[in-house]
Amino acid sequence: MANKLPYMQFYVNDFDEDTASISSLAVGVWIRILMAMHKKRTGSISGTLEKLSQITRATVDELKTGLVELSAENVANIHDIETLKKQICNAPCNAVVTVICRRLKREEEKRILTSERVNKLRAKRDCNAPCNAVVTQEKSDCNATHAPKESESEPESEIKKENKRKKIFSFVGVDFFPEKFKTKTFTTAWQEWEVFRREKRCALTESTAKKQLAMLSAFDESEAIAILDKSITNGWQGLFPESVKKGDDELSVAEKIERGIQI
């Protein structure tokens, strides 16, 4: 697996304590091995002595000496080290050795467990997906054996439309909406009023909309639109028909207080 990080975590105190009793040669070998493990995102590395010598930039004899020191001081776990010790001078270059960094190995195992847990959760989520979802057989383990036909996807689109209507509901076109106001000009003004109320975090309820539309019905279209525009312009949450006929200076003290006008 390609490493995504251009740097490696280096625990300075741990490294200093672990390598305090080994030679500079062994330290250099260990650093090179750690770098190789980091690039492969693994906690162990295996190879012949010749291959490991290329990785560590050391001769085969220097590599043997360094590995024996690393094992003797418990800096790293090295498989087949006993054979290497016995044949320290005569071990063939094609002898295979595995070097393990305990910290990186634990991190690798933790990544594997996390990946498996995430994959299980994703598989469970995919299997619990709605059966009417548009899927193909290759991407889902559900019982769908073919992509839904156009007629089969209609209920889903209706559900989406219904959810959208619930989120942004408008009283335009409901039973109690005045017939004379079913014009483009008034419905646009009324929808602006609904948006304004939602922005004020005080969306219109059905009973409020019914009362307001009934009150506006007493006026002609232009006057009703003027009432709506006046309330939006002044930030009022209510509708005040007399406001389109009276200026602010003509309102009573009680009316000014009610509308939040500074006296």
Measured CA to CA, the distance from residue 50 to residue 57 in angstroms comes to 10
Give the integer Cα–Cα distance in Å for 24 and 62: 11
The pTM of the full predicted model, rounded to 2 decimals, is 0.43
Q: Tell me, what's the pLDDT at 175?
A: 84
Say what the pLDDT of residue 140 is: 46
Cα atoms in the 13 Å half-sphere on the side-chain side of 79: 13
Which residues, in sequence order, are CB contacts of 84 under 8 Å at separation 6+?
64, 67, 68, 78, 91, 95, 97
pLDDT attached to residue 6 = 76
What pLDDT does residue 28 have? 94
From the first residue on, what is the mean pLDDT of each consecutive set of 10 residues in the chain (263 residues)? 67 89 92 91 89 91 89 87 63 79 88 88 76 49 48 53 61 86 91 90 89 91 92 90 66 59 60
pLDDT of residue 186: 93
Residue 234's contacts (CB-CB under 8 Å, 6 or more residues apart) are 243, 259, 261
Sorted by where each starts, the structural domains of the chain and their CATH numbers stand as 12-104 (1.10.10), 109-143+154-163 (no CATH), 164-258 (no CATH)
pLDDT of residue 108: 87
pLDDT of residue 11: 86
Q: What integer pLDDT is reported at residue 224 of this predicted model?
A: 92
What's the confidence (pLDDT) of residue 84? 67
User: In angstroms, what CA-CA distances link 2 with 38, 40, 108?
Assistant: 10, 6, 14
Burial of 94 per CB tally in 10 Å (0-12, 13-18, 19+): exposed
pLDDT score at 55: 93
Residue 96 has a pLDDT of 84
Say what the pLDDT of residue 151 is.
45
